[in-house]
Amino acid sequence: MTHRALGALFAVATLVTACTSDESDPAASSTRTASPPASADSPTTAGPLARFHEQRLDWEPCNEEFECATVQVPLDYAAPDGEVIELALLRAPATGDDPIGSLLVNPGGPGGSGVDYAQADIVGDDVRERFHVVGFDPRGVGRSSPIDCMDDRELDEFVATDGSPDDSSEVRSLQQQAAVMAQGCSERSGKLLPYVGTVDVARDLDVLRAVLGDAVLYYFGSSYGTYIGALYAEQFPDRVGRMVLDGALDPTLSGDEFARGQAEGFEHALGAYVQFCLEQGDCPLGTSEQEVRSTLTNLLRLIDADPLPTGDAARPLTQSLAILGVALPLYLPGAQSYPVLSVALEQALAGDGAALLRLADIYLFRNPDGTYDGNHNEVINAVNCLDRPSGESVAEIQAEVSAYEAISPIFGPYLVWSGLVCAEWPVPPLTPPTVDAAGAAPIVVVGTTGDPATPYEWAQALTSQLESGVLLTYEGTVHTAYNTGSRCVDEQVDSYLLEGTVPADGSVCER
């Protein structure tokens, strides 16, 4: 989401400061090296998966400078002779004459499009020279046998519904929307729903490695994409080449622990915004931290009672949309995104919700014409309810609201109710696998100390679980660290991808 959202922010307000970069010197690297470049001959799998590994890709020009192709994978890996589905690929060919191989990339989500991601400037020029950068839409996502649960009008209603209900009527409305989402997914995509979990996505990744001709996997995953990488390493440790997991998820977390961690992360990020706003001297929310927080809380309370006009009578700014509008800039480099948030909040305080609505729409991948880019808002439920369900009843959630409010008065209630859809889900959850990836080559895990969506502690936890995990820390507040402003991080990641030089475990890049 980061690259798309950052570009779109400039259309929301003109008061955006110039981009700044951290110029910290990279920490010292160890002398360990990752797997050497793969040979041109990729091993295939004998037996029922051989026909998938031996596919030949038919690359065709697309989107001017890129190449597109599709590849087939089994719907159900337990029945590989059965139904197949297609995955969409996009390749940015290496700009140099001597490529190392293909670097598969995933932007997170669940539900993010790797096809879109690979078209952005997600890696440095040196990496682009030596790697074909290949994005893929995971199974069920975007152009890859996509899940479909709701039409655009229904989705508008789903995302605008009060996500932190205050009374029984609002609880019933949220339950009804959760049931509509679950029923729609079952009716329109029921055959696919049991097979969109991350374990199967990771198995697809090995098919992609093989058909791309690499003996080992080169992979960059951010946010949820780190979970895909971790499960790949667990299932295929001997095929891990150079793997970077930026903004890591902790595989051991339950749905409740996941939501609590995000509540803490967003509260920390909100605190960083508050300090920035105050330091500017003209913060529209007040002159002290207490006043700023009180003003924001009261604004959201007023919006809950009476949604703000936005210039579109059919889409007033509801509390849920306002919270998403506040959340989006917290993902991004503060110097660029915080001024935009201040403008949007100032307008909302004056009774105009248009700017916050536009931020929410960017978060939701909603276009001005009412269409949605891809199916992110549906896939995220389908995957999370398989991988990391909460499945709690209304009574159980209500019993936890006060604890979440104590963690984050603004984001906590919204997050504790977010798992309600899993209680309605038509497919039972999978058993989460244990991850240690014993025998894998060194895996670089990047964690940002103030990351709102994937808290730093999750990166620490994943590193400790991976037998060959190496932690690279960035002291900042952005969601994911690579190619977002830290030369220190960029140089160490690039050196690892290009030369196999593994950062010293525990290396720290300052802001």
Active site residues: 223, 451, 479
Residue identified by tokens 């931290």 is 289
Angle at 244 between CA 6 and CA 66, to 5 degrees: 60
Token readout for 68 is 């597109």
- Are the CB atoms for 466 and 440 separated by under 8 Å? yes
Closest CA to 88 of 284, 375, 300: 375
**Residue 73 to residues 14, 53, 136, 203, Cα–Cα distance (Å):** 46, 9, 13, 9
The residues pairing with 219 across neighbouring beta strands, listed in sequence order, are 104, 243
Q: How far is CA 211 from CA 47, 319, 321, 390, 440, in A?
A: 16, 47, 42, 37, 21
The conformational region for residue 392 under phi > 0 = left, psi -120 to 50 = alpha, else beta, is beta
Evaluate whether 104 touches 134 at the Cβ level (below 8 Å): yes
- Between β-strands 501-503 and 101-106, what pairing exists: parallel, antiparallel or unpaired? unpaired
Element (H, E) at 222: strand 217-222
Beta-bridge partner residues of 246: 222, 446
Strands lying side by side in the sheet with 217-222? 60-62, 66-74, 84-92, 131-136, 101-106, 217-222, 240-246, 443-448, 469-474, 507-509
Q: What share of the chain is helix, strand, coil (3-state, %, to 5)?
A: 45, 15, 40
Question: What single DSSP character describes residue 193?
Answer: G
Instruction: Collect all residues with Cβ–Cβ distance below 8 Å to 101 and sequence separation of at least 6.
Output: 37, 38, 131, 132, 212, 213, 214, 218, 241
3-class SS at 252?
A: coil
Q: Are 476 and 511 in contact (CB under 8 A)?
A: yes
